[in-house]
Amino acid sequence: MEQKKIGASDYLALGLYAFAGFGFEVVLSMLLPSILGVGSSEYTLIHHCIHWVLTCILWGSMALFLIRLSRKKYAFDIMKLNEAPDSKGWLLAVVTSVAAIAVTTIVWGGFKPVQEYKGIIESVVQNIYYLFEAALILLTIAFGQKFGETLLKRGSLPYGGIFLALTWGLIHILLQGSLTGVYAFFMSILYGTVYILLNKNTRYSYLMIAIIFIL
């Protein structure tokens, strides 16, 4: 039997699966108040921590599933994307990251970790939650980038960032309003740019995206 040729539509599907992974939190947010017996607006620290921990489990499971699926079915192992960026790439990535953090600081009306801080336990659990979200962001970018490159045969543009902006970025408009949506759209492009500047190196890109996302 002739083996099915892997094409752009396959990478598009992977990117959409990664984006769909964010939806687990939406479903959880709908179900958890009934399970806990308390409205989300009345959540205490323990309720928030339960929400974040369960979301991390769902997002982590989805990320592992997609990494394995991509490797086994589509011969695309993002964990082997480990080409080291050159000094220029690092410099531009750092500059882009600083600019992104500066934008976040302006939007939040102050340094984000400080603005969010409500106690050490909540801060630690919330940042762990951010690390898992950053993993899905990276996967969405990586698959979106592969989709764009396969479809258009050019690898210099941040297709992954554009894909993230058109999915994860725009959905923020529906869930959190137009201003947050515009911010998420803009940040998505910057995340994708950092990914390109770091030569699509999975480990370095994840580290930088996580730092930007947390700060």
Q: For 64-86, what is each residue's pLDDT tens digit?
A: 999 999 999 988 999 888 888 99
Pull the structure tokens for residue 127. 């940042």
Q: Hey, what are 4's tokens?
A: 């099915």
> In the 8-state DSSP scheme, what is residue 41?
G
- What is the predicted pLDDT for the residue at 158? 92
The answer to whether position 24 is within a domain reads yes
Instruction: Please enumerate in sequence order all residues whose Cβ is within 8 A of that of 65, keeping only pairs 6 or more positions apart, or say none.
Output: none
pLDDT of residue 24: 93
Q: Which residues of the chain have pLDDT under 50?
A: 1-2
Residue at 80 is within a domain: yes
Distance CA 150, CA 164 (A): 17
Distance between CA atoms of residues 162 and 193, nearest Å:
9
Q: What's the pTM?
A: 0.94
Give pLDDT, residue 105.
94
- What is the reported pLDDT for 156? 76
The total number of residues written for the chain in this structure = 215
- Overall number of domains in the chain: 1
Cα separation, 188 vs 168, whole angstroms: 8
Phi first, then psi, for residue 34 (nearest 5°) are -70, -40
* 101 lies in some domain: yes
- Work out whether the CA dihedral 137, 138, 141, 147 comes out positive or negative: negative
- Domain membership of residue 133 (yes or no) is yes
158-176 residue pLDDT tens: 999 999 999 998 888 887 7
% pLDDT > 90, the chain: 73
Beta-carbon count within 10 A of 21 CB: 24
Distance from CA of residue 41 to its chain's centroid? 26
Q: How far apart are CA 52 and CA 91, in angstroms?
A: 34
Q: Which two tokens stand for residue 158?
A: 């941040």
- Whether 87 maps to a domain, the answer reads yes
The boundaries of the domain holding residue 33 are 8-214
How many Cα atoms occupy the beta-carbon half-sphere of 117 within 13 Å? 9
In a domain, 2, yes or no: no
Which residues are CB-contacts of 84 (< 8 A; sequence separation ≥ 6)? 199, 201
Q: Is residue 1 part of a domain?
A: no
The pLDDT of residue 1: 37
The maximal CA–CA distance of the chain, rounded, in angstroms, is 60
In a domain, 3, yes or no: no
